[in-house]
Structure 1
Amino acid sequence: MVASDAAAQVPCEPYIIQSGDTLRGITERAYGNGNFRPIFEANRNVIGFDPNVIEVGDVIDLPCSNTGTAASTVVIEATPPQPAPERVTEAPEPEPEPETTIAALVPEEPEPEIDLSGPADVRFVTYDGNAPYSGANLPNGGLATELLETAYGRIAPDAEVDTTLVTDNFAFLMAMGSEAYDVGFPSIRPNCNVIETLAVEMIELCAKYAFSEPFHEIRMTAWALNGNSFAGASEPAELSSARICRPEDLFTFDLEADRLPGRGGALVSRPDNGGCFNALLAGEVDLISMPFTDARDIITERGLSAQVAPVPALERGVTLHAVANQSNPDGVRAISRLNRGLEQMRGDGQWFSIVSRQLAAR
């Protein structure tokens, strides 16, 4: 079958990646929604482990439907550390289910018209030690810093951009709360449509801040020991009694949205990713949940691929954004400029160039 051209993303047919494409954009054109996870799952042998990075000229298969989220089996190998699922060209339609497994990927509301005639100078704030997104020792300040400074400069080339790097995430939150800055990054965006499930700080985030369009995604995965009753679980409800380890300072809103942990379960924290793995191996927790790249690195370094198994029920994408206090008109205008700059960068390939270079530098 001949791959569809750039103007025709057709379900059940192959498609050739074009300059400026994103999985989300392809999904919206082919299916009318932003749930790109089924395309990603069907093409991991082409795309690799990061849905943010797709290569121009690659041919991917568009599933016949994306109404459900396919459970995946992720294999961690020393070389190369990429899974190789079967390619699907004429797969039968899965049973439809609510698109709630990727809460942060609800399509954005259309951006209202904003007067951009005000001051263009902007005060950014981010924090150190947050590789690959921000840090004093990262190339050009990190992936998020380079992307957002570049995007802003595309729209306001004569503006003075002042980026402050504070010491850690706590100092970042304090800085944003003080309204001393116009825009902060990176920030996650919880699913504000299910606010009743969110912790107080997440409700405040929804109510207080304006969010940019997503500039990157964190792929979250979970792992259990082989033979554990939770290994292979496909629904969050199956994990209600699990002891779940998340590294300290990592968000938990996605677990809260799934009402986890439930009765009989527990949320356990450790200082870092390695600490969660230690707790899993010692039987102190039933499963661990953390970004895929972090888990992959530890599994590969320690040779644990035969000892752990994925837990598909907690695999989801969490998008990263810049934020501005809604009471700060300069910050809200800056968010609008960032959105326009990011759109241009995706269209001409500069976004892809920066992301792929930054990730390769890790």
Structure 2
Amino acid sequence: MKKQWVMMLVLTASLMMATQAKADHVRIVTGDYFAPFTGRDLPDGGIMTEIVRRAFEIAGYDHAEIIWRSWRQGYDMTVRGEVEGTFPYAYTPFRARSVLFSEPVASLSAFGWYAKSRQNFETIDDLNGAALCLPLGYAELGRTSQMLATGRATRHAPPDMRTCFKLLGAGRVDIVVAPRSEARDSMRAAGLELDHFGHIEEPLSTMPLHFVVGLNHPRAGKIMQDFNTALRELDESGELAVLLSRAQY
């Protein structure tokens, strides 16, 4: 009887250790071609990938595994609770029905890009009736959201930003909505000349970027609490500012 009791204790302890080990490993999904924040070809996977890894390290997790999927697939995996989170995402009320948002990690402005050979847009007010390109899965924010909601502009939503700039170069859309860094990288990836394009000086939107966790994940609240606590520590120590300063955006 005593031997059986000891074996039960050992088995229980083993199960607890296995559960703890599993809890200390997180799988995080993100997408590609969003420099300087995420990208398989970027140093450390991009500046926000590095920040997310560092935050989970500070939070005491043994390993934060980064996996790469399309933006739509990665977000859907997060909503279903199949991974511990994804990044970077801007807040929208629609998304907030499905995911928890961290405290802001970084912020980013998106501009209206045009082909210089076709039309020179000087202000946002010049965009009445324009065909805007914003890839599938990208949120409609700020002035972009207002123009689309009121019918002042229409949206084209191809799979990625490279395709948006190909459409812009071909004259099939009037404006591409993109941050400077992502726009430049997308032009290069599309084989286009950067000096053939310009952008309106006033941003269409300025958006905080977040780490998000699906509400369907059984540990959603704990994961987000751990991440936010670690992010505050990164901020207060000055390490977050140092990491962000490496990205020229």
Equivalenced residues, count:
224
Aligned to 1:260: 148
Tell me if structure 1 keeps the 8 A contact 2:116–2:196.
Answer: no
**Higher RCO (Cα < 8 Å, 6 or more apart):** 2
1:209 Cα offset (Å): 1.6
1:215 Cα offset (Å): 0.9
Quick one: distance in 2 between partners of 1:270 and 1:325? Answer: 25
Query: 1:160-206: CA deviations, max 9, x gaps?
Result: 3342404322331232133122332222212x3xxxxxxxxxx2x21
TM-score, normalised to structure 1, is 0.52
Amino acid in the other structure paired with 2:84: D
Aligned to 2:112: 222
Quick one: distance in 2 between partners of 1:141 and 1:230? Answer: 35
Q: Is 1:165–2:67 an aligned residue pair? A: yes
Q: Is 1:207–2:207 an aligned residue pair? A: no
* Residue identity (%): 21
Q: Which structure shows the higher helix fraction?
A: 2
1:260 Cα offset (Å): 1.2
Cα–Cα, structure 1 residues 206 and 272, in superposed 2: closer, same or farther, change >3 Å? closer
Quick one: distance in 2 between partners of 1:320 and 1:263? Answer: 27
- The structure having more radius of gyration, on CA atoms, is 2
Aligned to 1:341: 230
Quick one: distance in 2 between partners of 1:353 and 1:271? Answer: 33
Query: 1:261-303: CA deviations, max 9, x gaps?
Result: 7547422245554543444444433322112223356499432
Cα–Cα, structure 1 residues 122 and 208, in superposed 2: closer, same or farther, change >3 Å? farther
Aligned to 1:239: 127
Quick one: distance in 2 between partners of 1:246 and 1:148? Answer: 26
Q: Secondary structure at the match of 1:186?
A: strand
Q: Secondary structure at the match of 1:284?
A: coil
TM-score, normalised to structure 2, is 0.71
1:243 Cα offset (Å): 1.4
Quick one: distance in 1 between partners of 2:81 and 2:163? Answer: 35
Q: Is 1:288–2:180 an aligned residue pair? A: no
Aligned to 2:212: 323
Q: Give the CA RMSD over aligned residues.
A: 3.5
Amino acid in the other structure paired with 2:194: R
1:15-54 mapped onto 2 (5 Å cutoff)? none
Q: Which structure shows the higher strand fraction?
A: 2
Quick one: distance in 2 between partners of 1:288 and 1:128? Answer: 19
2:194 paired residue among 302, 308, 315: 302
Cα–Cα, structure 1 residues 228 and 275, in superposed 2: closer, same or farther, change >3 Å? same
Cα–Cα, structure 1 residues 172 and 217, in superposed 2: closer, same or farther, change >3 Å? same
Amino acid in the other structure paired with 1:183: G
